[in-house]
Amino acid sequence: MENYPWQTEVWQRLYEARARLPHALLLYGRSGIGKFDFAQHLSKSLLCQTPKPDGQACEICPSCGWFAQSNHPDYRLLTPEPEAADDDAGPAKKSARKSQISVAQVRELNSFLELTSHRGGGLRIVLIHPAETLNASSANALLKMLEEPPAGIVFILVSHQPQRLLPTITSRCQKIDMPVPETAVALQWLQQKGLKDAAQQLDYAGGSPLSALRDAEGGQSFSNIIMLLSHGEKSDPFVTTALCAVQGMEAVTLVLQKWIYDLLVCRLTGQVRYHVQHTGALQALTKSVNLGLLLDFQRKLDEARKSATHPLNSELQMESLLFQYAHIFSARI
């Protein structure tokens, strides 16, 4: 699999600089544009024994085989650990989303960093995604490694929200602003993937093609959540929370933000931005919504989005938000 078409230029720049890569890269940009896939392709290419002329991995050497099987001796991937789930929990609980990269995960790298490449003189790579899920302890443990990196190690950090990283970490990385594809390029790619209503889906996803594709694949679940939200004051927070728990706090908070944005704009101007097919429901809700409470709820959603990956009980947090949502339709002002 090759990189996405909108990543060609940044791939070429890195390929030309591969002989003088820094010890740490920070790939940052909005969610849904393929940063993590790019980082994996880059890692595989750097470890490949016989890369192609354009720098892509050959896919046939032993190194590529190990990478494909997720057991390459010179590669480590750090992603958030799953939240603990009770064996007796229901389906939603058992599908608990990942929360943070722990300090134990980072410290486990020490033994990896002490080793030499299995090829002798080759690179070793640590990929961290998403880097903003490092907590205070794990971030400080990583910082010590970045301050005195062993020879032959390349750290690749991938982040949707680089502002949440320690400034001392970002200052030790070469920052790469990952591109958002032009609309025409993104639409062509989505259409090749067989996505119906590609323009509408891309618009809803804010121009992020992978988010558009993901949302379309989970479309029925999100549609059911929107349908429950359209009931306004009569919406059932418990039923809605159960649906939201399966999708994860971060994804659902974004859905709520877009719904509330449309409700506010519809209340003020009569227009709808994201949920055109639900214009009638939104117009009906504007007749009972309390504008002050709506604005306050929008601010609370913004705060909830910032902490969406925090290891709190996300189901209780979502339930609280949905009770507040039902309350904003108490009395219009």
Domains 5-177 and 218-327 alike in fold: no
Q: Give the residue extent of every domain in the chain.
A: 5-177, 218-327
Go through 256-288 and write b for each residue having 16 or more CB atoms within 10 A of its CB, e for each that does not: bbbbbbbbbbbbeeeebebbeebeebbeebbee
Closest C-alpha among 250, 299, 209, 226 to residue 6: 209
Q: How far apart are alpha carbons 229 and 247 in whole angstroms?
A: 16
CATH (one of 3.30.43.10, 3.40.50.880, 3.40.1350.10, 3.40.50.300) for 5-177: 3.40.50.300
The CA R_g of the chain, rounded to the nearest whole Å, is 22
What is the value of pTM for the model shown?
A: 0.79
Place of tokens 């990896």: 112
Tokens of 90: 């229901």
For residue 153, report the phi and psi dihedrals to the nearest 5 degrees: -105, 135
Q: From first to last of the 333 residues of the chain, give the pLDDT tens digit.
A: 678 999 999 999 998 888 889 999 999 999 999 999 999 999 999 999 999 999 999 999 999 999 999 999 999 999 987 654 333 334 344 344 457 899 999 999 999 998 888 876 689 999 999 999 999 999 999 999 999 998 899 999 999 989 999 999 999 999 999 999 999 999 999 999 998 888 888 988 888 999 888 878 766 567 888 899 999 999 999 998 888 877 777 778 888 999 999 999 999 999 998 888 899 999 999 999 999 999 999 999 988 887 766 655 577 888 899 999 999 996 554
Domain 218-327 indexed as CATH 1.10.1760: no
Amino acid in position 213? L
Predicted local distance difference test score (pLDDT) of residue 89? 38
Predicted local distance difference test score (pLDDT) of residue 86? 36
Q: Which residues, 6+ apart, have CB-to-CB distance to 150 below 8 Å? A: 113, 114
Contact 314, 86 (CB under 8 A): no
Q: Give the sign of the dihedral formed by CA 260, CA 261, CA 265, CA 266.
A: negative
Q: Are strands 124-128 and 153-159 parallel, antiparallel or unpaired?
A: parallel
Predicted local distance difference test score (pLDDT) of residue 312? 56
Look at residue 284 and give its three-state secondary structure. helix
Place of tokens 């062993």: 150
Classify burial at 114, counting beta carbons within 10 Å of its beta carbon; exposed 0-12, middle 13-18, buried 19 or more. exposed
Predicted local distance difference test score (pLDDT) of residue 221? 66
